[in-house]
Amino acid sequence: MVEDVIEPMDLRFSEDELEERREHITSFISETVAAANADGVVLGLSGGIDSTTVAHLAVEELGADAVHGLVLPASVSSEENMSDAERVAQMLEIEYDVIEIDPVVDVLTDAYPEAEADQLAVGNARARVRGVLNYMVANHESRVVLGTGNRAEAMVGYFTKYGDQAVDCNPIGNLYKQQVRQLASALGVPDDLVEKTPTAELWADQTDEAEMGVGYDTLDAVLALHIDGDLSTAATARNLDIDETVVETVHDLHEASAHKRSMPPAPDPL
């Protein structure tokens, strides 16, 4: 993994900006539910900071009765993360279900055993099974599915297509990881959840930063200056005191994942 810069670029909001963003997100959640004429929301709870933050925001705006959490463990899931996921649900006093996804994934690998040894293919299948379960519950209960992805992940395609981003909306989709942590702290999320190591748990001992090859503090900063901003590769590297190859890595991830941020393409009209 590429190490983070020693002094992370400060992307945090002022207190007034943070409150404005908080109100904007909660209003967005209720407007999305109202537009769908839905009875509430469903979201997957992973025990990580992103899903925890979205759950807090949803309860703040809609009330606990309108939020249904799903804890969806697999054999590769850590007991700590699944325990944290249940802790969040209990802390917020929301309804939640624990559904083991291995039996469903096993059906898929039994149907196509050629892929069973393919770590990435099976990992993505786990994410897609979780998405299917989210929507089954949402359809049954007339709810919408809340996504838990942040801006940093979206910009570099760090999500499973039709998996963890098979959702109706992304309440924190415009926040860099650093800003998610700031908002979570303001919402009263326990420090151990705010600071825990992010993982999609697509396979055993997987972490986001190791898989991407860059830490979130550096990723946020490069995105803000080079992808969302207009600094060149060299200027971004100088500004952050990092190697240009790190900036190029983030740029390549962004370019290669463009298809994930767009509707499936169709031929141009004749």
Q: Is residue 236 part of a domain?
A: no
* Residue 181 forms part of a structural domain: yes
How high is the mean pLDDT of the chain? 93
Structural domain total, the chain: 1
Q: What is the tens place of the pLDDT at every residue in 221-262?
A: 999 999 999 999 999 999 999 999 999 999 999 999 999 999
Asked if the model's pLDDT at residue 113 lies above 90, the reply is: yes
What integer pLDDT is reported at residue 5 of this predicted model? Answer: 43
Residue 268 lies in a domain: no
Average pLDDT over residues 80-95: 96
What pLDDT does residue 157 have?
94
Question: What is the dihedral sign for C-alpha 113, 115, 117, 121?
Answer: negative
What domain range is 43 assigned to?
A: 15-198
**pLDDT value at position 206?**
65
- Residue 50 maps to a domain: yes
160 within some domain: yes
Q: Any alpha helices (H) in the chain, and if so which ranges?
A: 15-35, 49-62, 79-92, 102-111, 119-141, 151-156, 177-186, 191-194, 208-212, 216-222, 233-240, 244-256
CATH of the domain at 118: 3.40.50.620
Is residue 244 in some structural domain? no
Considering the domain boundaries, does residue 98 fall inside one?
yes
Residue 221 belongs to a domain: no
pLDDT, one tens digit per residue, over 52-80 is: 999 999 999 999 999 999 999 999 988 99
| Mean pLDDT, rounded, for 168-185 | 97
User: 265 pLDDT band (50/70/90 cuts)?
Assistant: confident
